């Protein structure tokens, strides 16, 4: 594949402008990166097919505990990758990784599987793209960071707001240019009615799903049709609720935009206040405050009622002396206080002309596709240079842990003071005892 042909194909101007010379040379002249995917459902395919769009990779392995999803994904990949080859398929990620022939592994399993998948992948010598949040407890995240550094692997976390074109523009042209002035407060929110409100009976798992393996280290719950596919987010056994699913994106974006590290303390209140009849056990209402001393980042979600700002139901709001920035996955608005500045509005650009396959791809969030492509290109840059990607595993650990602490603070009913040096909560033995969940046998927790 020569340089001229590469520039004219799907990676087009995006790859040419985003990849540095070293990464470009490796893609053009080197052997195709061998790729494997663990978790072939909704976002697994979204991530993998975006990678295929921007780089001449060869997808050689797919893994899933749902045989129907696995078969479907293999057919789709064969039809989309240049070689036309159908990847090998595995039902156990350990067998796939034991081949030790993968350069890149993408992980898009439910949250309770991320840690074991990612640690085994870096041990097998692969660079990894792992979906957010990186872990379901704090010690998992610490073990994941340690493994990435110990094995010298590049690990990009799927907090792709850091690679969203219009949000990069907002950061550079509104925040970094000083249009907001001193920023004294940030609010982040989600008011989507996304909490499952049903209460179906428990039933036998479908024959195409290995429910024992799907459950893995999580507590064994009776199967019901909420859980699979995608409905597992309704249960704390598999994740961290709406805070772990949606807050992490906006919280991580604020940290990136404002160059924030660890919060010094986290407090939270809420619970199941309205929808008490549903089988779901995640909170339907929650407020959390992440305190950075001179700045508080305040989160709120409600899975009922109206959003205060209908144009920004899942969003961030930065309040500065000179103006306000509203931003979401769909665009941004800068609202100046003075008369010398004009308001600025920007909508997401979905790149459907450059990537026409996005138009008809099943379940694809078309407005997010450009961000995933940018995130994959940044990942490839880091692989070529052996540097850190924009959403390095350490950044993912900070954002994930902060959200986990918010849930812990709500459950315990008190503010938690975090000590990043020790990786523990200051002077709170009860809270520290909850930094690791109990794993179901025979699975072993990587951080204990």
The single-letter DSSP state of residue 357 is G
Question: Could you give the angle at the alpha carbon of 399 between the alpha carbons of 395 and 402, nearest 5°?
Answer: 140
Flag whether pLDDT at 10 surpasses 70: no
Name the band, by pLDDT with cuts 50, 70 and 90, for residue 288.
very high
Q: Report the pLDDT averaged over residues 218-223.
A: 97
**Residues contacting residue 118 through CB under 8 Å, at least 6 positions apart:** 107, 128, 130, 134, 144, 147, 148, 155
For the segment 163-177, what is each residue's pLDDT rounded down to a tens digit? Answer: 999 999 999 999 999
pTM of the predicted model as reported, rounded to 2 decimal places: 0.95
pLDDT for 79: 97
Cα–Cα dist 436/400, whole Å: 14
Confidence bin at 30 (pLDDT 50/70/90): confident
Give the list of residues 6+ apart from residue 40 with CB closer than 8 angstroms, or none: 62, 63, 64, 66, 69, 70, 72, 73, 108
Mean pLDDT (whole number) for 348-354: 97
Helix, strand, coil abundance in the chain, percent, nearest 5: 40, 20, 45
What average pLDDT does range 273-296 have in this prediction? Answer: 97
Kindly tell me if the per-residue pLDDT of 395 is higher than 90.
yes
What are the helix and strand counts (H, E) for the chain?
A: 15, 16
- Residue 11 above 50 pLDDT? no
Q: What percent of the chain has pLDDT over 70?
A: 94
Confidence of residue 25 (pLDDT cuts 50, 70, 90): low
Q: Which residue pairs from 27-30 have beta carbons closer than 8 angstroms and sit at least 24 positions apart in sequence?
A: 27/55, 27/56, 27/380, 27/384, 28/1, 28/2, 28/3
State which CATH number among 3.30.930.10, 3.40.630.30, 3.40.50.1370, 3.40.50.720 fits the domain covering 3-161. Answer: 3.40.50.720
Q: Note every long-range contact of 433-442, with CB atoms under 8 Å and residues 24 or more positions apart, other chains counting.
A: 434/137, 434/408, 435/137, 435/138, 435/139, 436/137, 436/138, 436/139, 436/140, 437/136, 437/137, 439/217, 440/215, 440/216, 440/217, 440/218, 440/219, 440/220
297-317 pLDDT, tens per residue? 999 999 999 999 999 999 999
User: Per the structure block, which two tokens stand in for 191?
Assistant: 């008011």
Q: Are 91 and 39 in contact (CB under 8 A)?
A: no
The CATH label, of 3.30.9.10, 3.30.360.10, 3.40.50.10490, 3.30.870.10, for the domain at 166-351+394-432 is: 3.30.360.10
Q: Which of 26-40, 165-179, 399-413 has the lowest mean pLDDT?
A: 26-40
**Cis before 12? omega within 30:** no
- Whether the per-residue pLDDT at 13 is higher than 50: the answer is no
Express as a percent the part of the chain with pLDDT over 90.
92
CB atoms within 10 A of CB 98: 12
Every domain range in the chain assigned CATH 3.40.50.720: 3-161
Given this model, what pLDDT does residue 7 score? 37
Which tens digits make up the pLDDT trace of 121-173?
999 999 999 999 999 999 999 999 999 999 999 999 999 999 999 999 999 99
Q: How far is CA 127 from CA 35, 107, 120, 137, 394, in A?
A: 10, 11, 11, 22, 15
Is 43 in a helix, a strand, or coil? helix
Chain region(s) in the chain for CATH 3.30.360.10 = 166-351+394-432
Q: With residue 163 as reference, give the H or E element that holds it.
A: none
Contact 66, 215 (CB under 8 A): no
pLDDT of 348 reads: 98
14 — pLDDT class (breaks 50, 70, 90): very low
Assess whether pLDDT exceeds 60 at residue 17: no
d(CA 179, CA 297): 20
Whole-number pLDDT of residue 28: 64
């Amino acid at each position: 594949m020569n340089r001229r042909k590469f520039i004219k194909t799907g990676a087009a101007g995006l790859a040419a402008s985003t990849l540095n010379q070293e990464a470009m040379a490796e893609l053009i002249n080197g052997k195709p990166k061998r790729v494997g995917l663990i978790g072939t459902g909704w976002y697994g395919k979204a991530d993998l097919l975006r990678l295929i769009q921007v780089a001449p990779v060869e997808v050689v392995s797919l893994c899933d505990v749902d045989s129907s999803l696995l078969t479907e994904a293999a057919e789709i990949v064969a039809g989309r990758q240049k070689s036309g080859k159908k990847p090998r398929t595995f039902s156990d990620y350990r067998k796939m990784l034991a081949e030790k022939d993968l350069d890149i592994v993408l992980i898009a399993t439910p949250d309770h599987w991320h840690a074991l998948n990612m640690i085994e992948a870096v041990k097998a010598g692969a660079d990894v793209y792992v979906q957010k949040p990186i872990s379901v407890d704090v010690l998992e995240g610490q073990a994941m960071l340690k493994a990435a550094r110990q094995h010298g692997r590049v690990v990009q976390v799927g907090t792709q707001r850091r690679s969203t074109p219009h949000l990069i523009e907002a950061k550079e042209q509104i925040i970094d240019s000083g249009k907001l002035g001193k920023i004294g407060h940030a609010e982040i929110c989600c008011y989507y009615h996304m909490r499952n409100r049903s209460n179906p009976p428990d039933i036998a798992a479908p024959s195409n799903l290995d429910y024992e393996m799907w459950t893995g280290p999580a507590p064994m719950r009776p199967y019901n049709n909420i859980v699979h596919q995608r409905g597992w987010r309704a249960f704390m056994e598999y994740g961290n609720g709406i805070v772990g699913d949606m807050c992490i994106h906006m919280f991580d974006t604020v940290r990136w935009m404002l160059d924030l590290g660890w919060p010094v303390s986290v407090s939270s209140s809420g619970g199941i206040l309205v929808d008490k009849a549903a089988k779901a056990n995640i909170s339907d209402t929650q407020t959390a405050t992440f305190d950075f001393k001179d700045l508080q980042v305040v989160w709120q979600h409600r899975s009922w009622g109206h959003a205060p700002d209908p144009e920004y139901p899942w969003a961030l709001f930065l309040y500065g002396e000179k103006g306000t920035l509203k931003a979401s996955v769909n665009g941004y608005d800068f609202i100046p206080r003075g008369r010398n500045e004009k308001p600025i509005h920007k909508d997401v650009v979905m790149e459907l002309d450059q990537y026409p396959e996005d138009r008809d791809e099943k379940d694809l969030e078309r407005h997010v596709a450009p961000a995933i492509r940018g995130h994959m290109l940044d990942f490839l840059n880091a692989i070529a240079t052996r540097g850190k990607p924009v959403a390095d595993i350490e950044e993912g650990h900070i954002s994930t842990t902060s959200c986990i602490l918010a849930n812990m603070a709500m459950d315990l009913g008190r503010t938690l003071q975090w000590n990043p040096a020790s990786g523990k909560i200051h002077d709170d033995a009860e809270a520290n005892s909850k930094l690791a969940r109990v794993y179901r046998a025979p699975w072993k927790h990587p951080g204990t």
